[in-house]
Structure 1
Amino acid sequence: MSEDAGNRLEAEGATLGEAKWAAVRDLGHRFPGITADEVSFEVLADSDEGALVGAEADVEAWRAIADVVPEESPERVRQLITRVVGACGLEATIDVDESAEEIRATVNGEDLGLLIGKHGSTIDALQHLAFRAAFPEPTGERKRVVVDAAGYRERRAATLHRAADRAVEDALSFSRSVELEPMTSPDRKIVHDYLADRTDVQTHSEGEEPERRLVVSPVAP
């Protein structure tokens, strides 16, 4: 990402959609709760090697929406996701549940691949925005916000668990550290938590985003 004026920036991604979501995510740090509806995009590059977009926040539109943001965190999450689903032209329903530990929003419908994105990149970005919308203030009580669509989180967790099991087997069989493929921060946390109770291996992360990856290493006896 490169910065321009206060309401403008550039962002890149593997695809045009990912670049746009990266721009909205980064603008969300300055304008909590902003969505693609309040951002105009200029495609600067789009090829097999990746995409680059310029993005400008419509500050007046964002302020108008911000004036009617619900007070309750779960409803702020619902409002954000409803608007994103509508902007994507998807037909879906949104369920939002709150527990002591988390706020979980589940999008139900068909053909939700656009909302999920490659390796979950889009839904992870949406989850980040949902957290920012739910808890716009940097202080005060917070809890985890999870955004799921069509059972993606469960399927992804199962895939990551299998990859973690293979890495553990290799690490113990050959007494060496094993690197997993580059992952997003939420995916790395899933693997780390999955292996946290094991006493024969340990995990840590290496590298810079978006190539940051988890390393599984055997624990010396």
Structure 2
Amino acid sequence: MKILTVEGKTREEALRKALDELGASEHEVRVKVVEEGEDKVVLEVGIKAEEVKLIKEVIEGFIKSMGTTGGVEVIEREGVYYANIVTGEMDSILIGKSGKNLEAVQHLLARMIHKRNPKIDVVIDIAGYREKRERFLRAKARAFAEEVKRTGIEYIFEPLPPSFRRVIHLELAGKEGVRTYTIGDGDLKKVVIAPRRRR
């Protein structure tokens, strides 16, 4: 599996170099910006089909090792692969309470994939749970941020694994009038939305 790191004065120039060397068209490759300056751009470019094949092989092997059947859909967005696993009977077990098992599956499969190709970034989802949960948490964070601004009373989320806490922190980063912080111990911690005091 060939992954190139190419440099050019512009993104277009660097990408053209990579496409010429790989003998591929733009829609056939994954492009990740490694460095971007005023007079230099460094890109990492790989063939999507080969990378998707590797991701599917690892995930399908994992599903089979659990003694169940299922499928995986892989899409690429901005240099990151999103793999959605559907097993039917095992989905709820793989997700776990508040997505805790999903975090463990993410960690395990990402490590297995990185072992074979350390350049691949992959986000694992199960039956679309992560995508729906993140969308819900972003909307909830925005709504409760307004409530906290209006009332001055903190709002505390239910215990969440790290990736879902990050969604809330990023959604409200820089939002006027509120700040977020985390409380608790262990993997499942709570995010607090608090009023930002004027100095």
Instruction: Among all aligned residue pairs of Structure 1 and Structure 2, give the percentage whose two residues are the same amino acid.
Output: 26
- Identify the residue that residue 106 of structure 2 maps to in structure 1: 127
**Structure 2: how far apart are the matches of 1:141 and 1:215?**
35
CA distance in 2, matches of 1:174, 1:99: 39
Change (3 A) 1:148 1:188: same
Q: Which residue of 2 aligns with 1:67?
A: none
User: CA separation of 1:208/1:77 partners in 2, compared to 1, >3 Å: closer, same or farther?
Assistant: farther
Counterparts of 1:138-217 in structure 2, within 5 Å, are 142=119, 144-217=121-194
Pick closer, same or farther for the CA change 1:190–1:144 going to 2, 3 Å. Answer: farther
Aligned partner of 1:82 in structure 2 is 60
Q: Where does structure 1 differ by over 6 angstroms across 4 or more consecutive aligned residues?
A: none
Deviations 1:15-35 (A, max 9, x none): xxxxxxxxxxxxxxxxxxxxx
TM-score with structure 2 setting the length: 0.61
Pair 144,194 (structure 1): closer, same or farther in 2 beyond 3 Å: farther
Match of 1:92 among 60, 70, 84: 70
Shift of 1:127: 0.8
Aligned 8 A contact 1:80 1:133 in 2: yes
Unaligned regions of 5+ residues in structure 2, if any? 1-49
* Aligned residues of 1:167 and 1:180 also touching (Cα < 8 A): no
1:219 and 2:176 correspond: no
Partner SS for 2:187 = coil
Deviation of 1:125 (Å) = 0.9
Larger radius of gyration: 2
1:101 aligns with 2:85: no
Q: 1:183 to 1:75 in 2, by over 3 A?
A: same
Q: In structure 2, how many angstroms separate the alpha carbons of the residues matched to 1:113 and 1:130?
A: 17
- Pair 1:98–1:90, CA change in 2 (3 A): same
Partner of 1:116: 95
TM-score of the superposed pair, with normalisation by structure 1 = 0.56
SS at match of 1:165: helix
**Equivalences, count:** 148
CA distance in 2, matches of 1:215, 1:144: 29
Using the TM superposition, give the Cα deviation of residue 74 of structure 1 relative to its aligned residue in structure 2, in angstroms: 4.7
Which consecutive unaligned segments of at least 5 residues does structure 1 have? 1-71
